[in-house]
Amino acid sequence: MTTTINWKLPSGQSVALKPLVVAGGIDFGFSHPTVLEIGFKLGHNLWLNGVEWYQTNADSRTILASVALATKKYGVQRWWADSEDPREITNLQKHNLPVLANEIHELDYGLRVIYGLLAREIVHPVLGRGPAFRVASTACPNLVREFGLYGHRSVRGEYRTDLPPVDRFDDCISACRYYLTNEGEMPPEELIQSPRDRPKMHVNDKGQWVDDPEATIVQTRGPVQEGWWDEQAGGQAELAISDVDI
């Protein structure tokens, strides 16, 4: 099934987009809410998080019904779920839902992926300039709220980034990091390649093969001075998705 989403631009105009990948994250709520977050990947470098389901005291039947409905409605190809509750994962799999256990457990790694994508600004041919991870604020209010609350613990009024983040306000963020990391996203310091390591050609967001002149020159004419290379940077855009209620 080909999924088409309607993404609303800052101007209010709605554009139809066909993502290459639709993936979701599930954070089961023990004493916390249960959260579903769905991301739509466009091209090789842009994720749109446009669907959120957030409920406290959700039982197995409610979770099953919500995951099944979201899978069908949005064409979710893979769900990456909190591996601390294998019974829930098994129950979802028994009903032929594409649910897999999260395989990347390092919290710091996942957070570096998310905040690295937020800091990495790109220019998309349809959506324009903005971060590589964009959130529909009206459809995902709890994720937006958590970004403003989640952080490191304070010791005598000073935030200690050398200590683990406080285990609060992270349910939606956890669901996002599950699908982003398991779908292959990496922290920026592990993602950036020098021209000598990059392929000489790549597929752009329009599906066209294009040359990388810098990589070609370096790999055919010898080494150049070491450095860091990144994609074109730009500003941010406030976006929203329509018709997203599960």
CA distance 172 to 150: 11
State which residues of the chain have pLDDT below 50: 152-155, 157, 159-160, 222-246
- Does the pTM surpass 0.85? The reply is no
Q: Decide if 56 contacts 29 (C-beta within 8 A).
A: yes
- Give the model's pLDDT for residue 226: 34
- CA gyration radius, the chain: 19
- Give the model's pLDDT for residue 107: 82
- Give the model's pLDDT for residue 205: 61
- Give the model's pLDDT for residue 149: 65
- Give the model's pLDDT for residue 133: 95
Q: Decide if 36 contacts 51 (C-beta within 8 A).
A: yes
pLDDT per position as a tens digit, 81-130: 999 889 999 999 999 999 999 999 888 888 889 988 998 988 888 888 89
CA distance 200 to 99: 36
- Give the model's pLDDT for residue 195: 59
- Give the model's pLDDT for residue 27: 95
Task: Name the one residue in this structure whose structure tokens are 């990391």.
Answer: 181
CA distance 183 to 132: 14
The domains located in the chain, with CATH, are 5-192+235-241 (3.30.420.280), 193-229 (no CATH)
